[in-house]
Structure 1
Amino acid sequence: MLNALGAVPVLFMKRISQRTLDIGLGFASGVMIAASFTSLIIPGIELGGILPVLVGIAFGTITISLADKVIPHMHAIIGAEGPSTGRLKAIWLFVIAVTLHNMPEGLAVGVGFGSGRLSEAMALAIAIGLQNIPEGMSIGFSTISIEGTPRWKAFLISFLSGLVELPLSILGAALVSLVKPIIPYAMGFAGGAMMFVVSDEMIPETHRMGHERLASYGLVIGLIVMLTLDVLLG
């Protein structure tokens, strides 16, 4: 839901510097990398050993990679990906891309709480919320640049993009609560999916406009924030 907070500037500004967006997405990337390990992968290993988590990481990576290949979508900078889009509007291709990106985040939060490890789950939920702020800003301004989308619609799309996390959180929590043996697999799956999204989409996006150093600083700050949260809430 914090996507909406990040998108508020869209209602008052037509654009924001690409440098600011890249730093923000770098921060979000750092948060997701740290959260993948501190709240999902390492707790999963502690619960079920290394093998189930490794299997989960592999399946999470493969699942998101396949979805990226078979579902047509569009990134603000990279452009269209997946199979032929036909007459599907660019704005909807972008919405699909955002939905694909947010799926692992929602699943991760649900799996975290369903595992019963509340301190790690709380740190993960707060971290995902924090990284949703710059993400929401990026989504909002990127949407404006596509087909001249009105500001109110860009804000609405950014707000709605965060809602996909809610049902996936509930699904993730329900699955691991009902079937305890899958918890380490599910934690590995969510961690692997998040890591793949960061490496395959977020970091390349932040490096395409010549701001890779600043984006890297943002990433390190995100790592520091997430690790600090993990210690404070642990």
Structure 2
Amino acid sequence: MLDLFTRLFGTDPLIHGVVGGVVIATFNLLGASLVFVWRDPSERALDGALGFAAGVMLAASFTSLIIPGIETYSGGDPLPVLLGLALGALFLDRSDALVPHAHYLVTGRQRDDAAGGNRSLPIDDERFAGVVLFVLAITLHNMPEGLAVGVGFGSGDLATAVPLMLAIGIQNVPEGLAVSIAAINAGLDRRAYAVFAGIRSGVVEIPLAILGAYAVGAVSSLLPYAMGFAAGAMLFVISDEIVPETHTGGHERVATLGTLAGVIVMLYLDISLG
């Protein structure tokens, strides 16, 4: 597969970043389009699918970003990757404070914020504002995925980058479906508009993949920091968003099994392609 990828797209990491961004965005569109044939997925099924996405992202954070960043690109020194990881988590934390959580919009369930009060928007009263803020929230959570793929290809290591691209693409399928369902819950009552929301959230991954590939290619010393940043951002999304959401409606076992399945799939991809 790696040889085929090189024959098709050459050896330019920037071109690879473009391809990676298009691929993961296409998977997101595929997931968003499932709303046409799977019109009303149960909360149980959605929690299992999102758990799978979390498992893929969790394993990919370590096998394709943190471990290669430490062992290969920072000479065994963990500090650059760990600093980047902390900055990535901090960036998502501060950015996430600017937009409401997407939990209520995705499933209709509402969760109290630990600091007091509820951070979900009362969409029945402010539907239009809810749609706008929902799109911002989902776009924010797609950012680390596109950046991670771009950074992976910018490193020039296809054995790491291609499994990462496929893994994030696969987890984008249930995520894209969740986006479409959330769009409907937020007031976009026509299926076409729901799929548009899925496309919108996925398209942001393409420029970020290009940016990630260009940045680490132009300044190679940034690579371990960038890999840690992408991993930290993804781990924040998993812990702060996906896991709490999938454990809210009484389907913890299904979500956990989905997470384990996602880890297994990512590890298989990493070993078989690496």
TM-score range, shorter chain: over 0.9
Q: Percent identity?
A: 52
Deviation of 1:70 (Å): 2.6
1:11-90 aligned within 5 A? 11-46=36-71, 47-48=73-74, 49-72=77-100, 74-75=102-103, 76=105, 77-78=109-110, 81=119, 89-90=129-130
Deviation of 1:148 (Å): 5.0
In structure 1, which of residues 121, 140, 145 is the aligned counterpart of residue 185 of structure 2?
A: 145
Distance 2:130 2:54 in 1: 25
What do the CA deviations read for 1:56-114 (whole angstroms, capped 9, x no partner)?
Answer: 0110010110001134564324477399x996621111111110110000000000110
Distance 2:134 2:222 in 1: 33
**Structure 2 residue ranges without an equivalent (≥5):** 1-25, 112-117
> Which residue number in structure 1 is paired with residue 12 of structure 2?
none
Contact 2:102 2:137 in 1 (8 A): yes
What do the CA deviations read for 1:87-145 (whole angstroms, capped 9, x no partner)?
Answer: 66211111111101100000000001101111111000000000001111111112112
Distance 1:82 1:145 in 2: 13
Distance 2:68 2:188 in 1: 45
Runs of 4+ in 1 over 4 A off after TM superposition: 85-88
Distance 1:113 1:148, change over 3 A: closer
Matching residue's letter, 2:252: E
Distance 1:57 1:158 in 2: 27
1:1-234 aligned within 5 A? 1-46=26-71, 47-48=73-74, 49-72=77-100, 74-75=102-103, 76=105, 77-78=109-110, 81=119, 89-147=129-187, 149-234=189-274
Distance 1:169 1:151 in 2: 28
Distance 2:143 2:228 in 1: 15
**Structure 1 residue ranges without an equivalent (≥5):** none
Match of 1:70, SS state, is: coil
Contact 2:142 2:205 in 1 (8 A): yes
What do the CA deviations read for 1:28-62 (whole angstroms, capped 9, x no partner)?
Answer: 00000000000000000011020101100110010
Distance 2:119 2:140 in 1: 12
Deviation of 1:13 (Å): 4.7
Count of matched residue positions in the alignment of Structure 1 and Structure 2: 234
Q: TM-score, normalised by structure 1?
A: 0.94
Matching residue's letter, 1:143: A
Contact 2:148 2:212 in 1 (8 A): yes
Distance 2:34 2:253 in 1: 25
Distance 2:250 2:220 in 1: 46
Matching residue's letter, 2:250: G
Backbone CA RMSD of aligned residues: 2.1
Deviation of 1:11 (Å): 2.2
Deviation of 1:12 (Å): 4.0
